[in-house]
């Protein structure tokens, strides 16, 4: 298949827009379940505690990160990825329809299970099919393909949290109606995929490891894979595990930054304690616009930092991935510090703070994310031994699963203490971790490049 850096085949848009529709619904629902659980029945919710809302939010995030590992394993060996994708879209639609009709925790648990299983069949397999549309592309062009796909993901996130969530807060449809529309978007996504798959060629028709190109490549690598790891390769495996573990710390705190926005600073009619003023005249912003700020800043920031790293690399001054991770954690610490400051300025709700402080924390949260997050899979692909590449790529989302599983219970534990002291201490810990990591960037690079010294 012939392509240039400025032209993609129609199949690229089939895969990329599938992500846009799916992420639009997912990010609206990720915000919605946190609020729907908490607001009163009179306001269209379930009227449960904020602790319950934090747990449901945590479970939705966690299980939608672990199931793509399982779905990818199935698609690698046994089932056609092209058939798993529409099955995933249908299951996710049913999950959102369960939330539409939910009258208690049981239906929300079913919702999470259906969305998680559906995401497992959908997420990694669409990316796998995308990549196989460009069998002869070099790594630079594939980086371009997936960078643009990442933009489509963030466009879906931005529109879902900015506009779809208004159905919950500004119309009579309420939260249930918003979940219903999320389900409709997944059915639209299903139709888009079924109609558009004729443009995908033979990509994803067979299980990925049955694909002749992959099979031939694997046979060629068998001898190399059986060779014991060298000391440098062992160093690199250790380095990958270390940065993966530290990225888990980042994502744990990153997700925890959302919950005070919803439950402390959010408006009372959205389940919050109104520590911040979200009003623009008579219009009350939904707290999902905090999520929107993250999506928009990712769309703007990722290309900027890609250009920065490329320029530094050409000059031989690029930061090591370890330094970038440390800087990302440091900036995330500033995000938590700003949120703590918002608590101080509001006197914990006595004098609601301007919402600009909340959006300032969103800026630092996103800055920390775009510095290192888009480079994680690239780092692993570059340095992992071939015999362990699939395993180590699987560990990256696995650590986010654990971060997602923990952040809700950890927030509930911290909520038993004074917010300013608890989040102030968290900010100090994260700032210190970031400051301790950054100076070791050069030694880290020397460690994984010992064979080149």
Question: How far is Cα 146 from Cα 67, in angstroms, rounded to an integer?
Answer: 21
Average pLDDT, the chain: 90
> CA-CA distances (angstroms) from residue 195 to 36, 155, 442?
34, 22, 50
Can you tell me whether residue 286 is helix, strand or coil? coil
Collapse the DSSP code of 284 into the 3-class scheme (helix H, G, I; strand E, B; otherwise coil) and give the result. Answer: strand
What does DSSP assign to residue 198? G
Examine residue 114 and state whether it is found in any structural domain, yes or no.
yes
245 & 336 share domain: yes
In this structure, the answer to whether residues 18 and 151 fall within a common structural domain is yes
With a cut of 70, say whether residue 175 has pLDDT above it: yes
For residue 76, the model assigns a pLDDT of 85
Contacts of 133 (CB under 8 A, 6+ apart): 1, 9, 11, 12, 15, 200, 201, 203
CB atoms within 10 A of CB 218: 12
DSSP state of 160: I
Contact indicator for 314, 306 with CB cutoff of 8 Å: no
Q: What pLDDT, on a 0 to 100 scale, did the predictor assign at position 101?
A: 96
Per-residue pLDDT of 284-309, as tens digits, reads 999 999 999 999 999 999 888 888 88
Give yes or no for a contact between 335 and 431, defined as CB atoms under 8 angstroms apart. Answer: no
Residue 407: is its pLDDT beyond 90?
A: yes
Boundary residue ending a domain (221, 241, 258): 221
- The domain total for the chain is 2
Give the residue-averaged pLDDT of 160-175.
Answer: 96
Whether the per-residue pLDDT at 333 is higher than 90: the answer is: yes
Q: Residue 18, by phi and psi: left (phi above 0), alpha (psi -120 to 50) or beta?
A: alpha
Same domain (yes/no): 143, 241: no
Q: In terms of domains, do 189 and 278 share one?
A: no
Does residue 447 lie in a domain region?
Answer: yes
Highest mean pLDDT pick, 4-13, 220-229, 425-434: 425-434
Q: Phi/psi zone of residue 277: left (φ > 0), alpha (ψ -120 to 50 degrees), beta?
A: beta
Do 387 and 445 sit in the same domain of this protein?
A: yes
Average pLDDT over residues 252-275: 96
- The answer, yes or no, to whether residue 283 has pLDDT greater than 50, is yes
Burial class (CB in 10 A: 0-12, 13-18, 19+), 394: middle
Using a pLDDT cut of 90, give the percent of the chain over it.
66
Q: Does 162 reside within a domain?
A: yes
**CB of 36 within 8 A of CB of 99?**
yes
Beta bridge partners of 353: 276
Distance between CA atoms of residues 19 and 118, nearest Å: 13
Identify which has the larger pLDDT, 228 or 6: 228
User: Confidence band (pLDDT; 50, 70, 90) for 432?
Assistant: very high
Predicted pLDDT at 14 = 96
Indicate whether 1 belongs to any domain.
no
Q: Is residue 153 a contact partner of residue 23, using CB atoms and an 8 Å limit?
A: yes
Domain of 160, CATH number, reads: 1.20.1250.20
Q: Are residues 197 and 246 in the same domain?
A: no
Looking at the fold, whether 210 and 280 belong to one and the same domain comes out as no
Domain hosting 284: range is 230-453
N-term to C-term CA, the chain: 40
- Say yes or no: 311 and 435 in one domain: yes
pLDDT band at residue 343, thresholds of 50, 70 and 90? very high
Smallest CA-to-CA distance from 36 within 178, 159, 172, 164 is with 178
Asked whether residue 258 falls in the same domain as residue 133, the answer is: no
**Do residues 200 and 254 both lie within one domain?**
no
Residue at 3 is within a domain = no
Same domain, 445 and 313: yes
pLDDT(138) > 70: no
Q: Which residue blocks in 321-388 are alpha helix, DSSP H?
A: 321-345, 355-372, 376-383
Residues 6+ apart with CB under 8 A from 196: 10, 11, 13, 14
Q: How far apart are CA 357 and CA 345, in angstroms?
A: 10
């Amino acid at each position: 298949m012939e392509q240039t850096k400025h032209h993609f085949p129609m199949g690229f848009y089939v895969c990329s827009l599938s992500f846009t529709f799916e992420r639009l619904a997912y990010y609206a629902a990720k915000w919605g379940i946190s609020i729907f659980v908490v607001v009163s029945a009179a306001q269209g919710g379930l009227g449960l505690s904020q602790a319950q809302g934090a747990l449901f939010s945590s479970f939705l995030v966690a299980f939608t990160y672990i199931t793509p590992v399982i779905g990818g394993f199935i698609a690698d060996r046994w089932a056609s990825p092209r058939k798993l994708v529409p099955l995933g879209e249908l299951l996710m639609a049913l999950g959102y329809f369960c939330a539409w009709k939910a009258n208690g925790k049981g239906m929300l648990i079913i919702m999470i299970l259906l969305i998680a299983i559906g995401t497992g069949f959908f997420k990694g397999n669409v990316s796998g099919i995308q990549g196989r549309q460009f069998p002869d592309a070099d790594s630079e062009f594939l980086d371009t393909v997936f960078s643009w796909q990442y933009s489509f993901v963030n466009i879906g996130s931005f529109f879902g949290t900015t506009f779809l969530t208004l159905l919950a807060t500004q119309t009579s449809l309420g939260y249930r109606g918003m979940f219903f529309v999320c389900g409709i978007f997944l059915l639209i996504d299903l139709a888009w995929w079924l109609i558009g798959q004729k443009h995908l060629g033979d990509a994803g028709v067979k299980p990925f490891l049955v694909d002749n190109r992959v099979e031939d490549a694997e046979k060629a690598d068998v001898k190399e894979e059986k060779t014991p790891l060298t000391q440098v390769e062992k160093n690199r495996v250790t380095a990958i595990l270390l940065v993966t573990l530290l990225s888990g710390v980042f994502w744990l705190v990153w997700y925890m930054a959302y919950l005070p926005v919803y439950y402390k600073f959010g408006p009372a009619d959205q389940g919050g304690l109104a520590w911040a003023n979200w009003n623009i005249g008579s219009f009350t912003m939904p707290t999902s616009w905090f999520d929107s700020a993250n999506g928009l800043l990712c769309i703007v920031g990722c290309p900027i930092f890609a250009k920065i790293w490329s320029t530094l690399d050409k000059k031989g001054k690029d930061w090591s991935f370890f330094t970038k991770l440390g800087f990302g954690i440091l900036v995330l610490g500033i995000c938590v510090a700003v949120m703590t400051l918002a608590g101080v300025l509001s006197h914990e709700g006595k004098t609601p703070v301007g919402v600009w402080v909340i959006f300032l924390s969103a800026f630092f949260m996103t800055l920390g994310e775009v510095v290192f997050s888009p480079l994680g899979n690239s780092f692993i692909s570059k340095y992992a031994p071939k015999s362990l590449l699939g395993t180590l790529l699987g560990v990256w989302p696995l650590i986010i699963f654990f971060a997602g599983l923990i952040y809700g219970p950890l927030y509930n534990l911290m909520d038993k203490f004074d917010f300013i002291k608890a989040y102030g201490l968290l900010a100090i810990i994260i700032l210190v971790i970031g400051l301790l990591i950054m100076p070791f960037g050069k030694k880290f690079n020397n460690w994984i490049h010992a064979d080149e010294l």
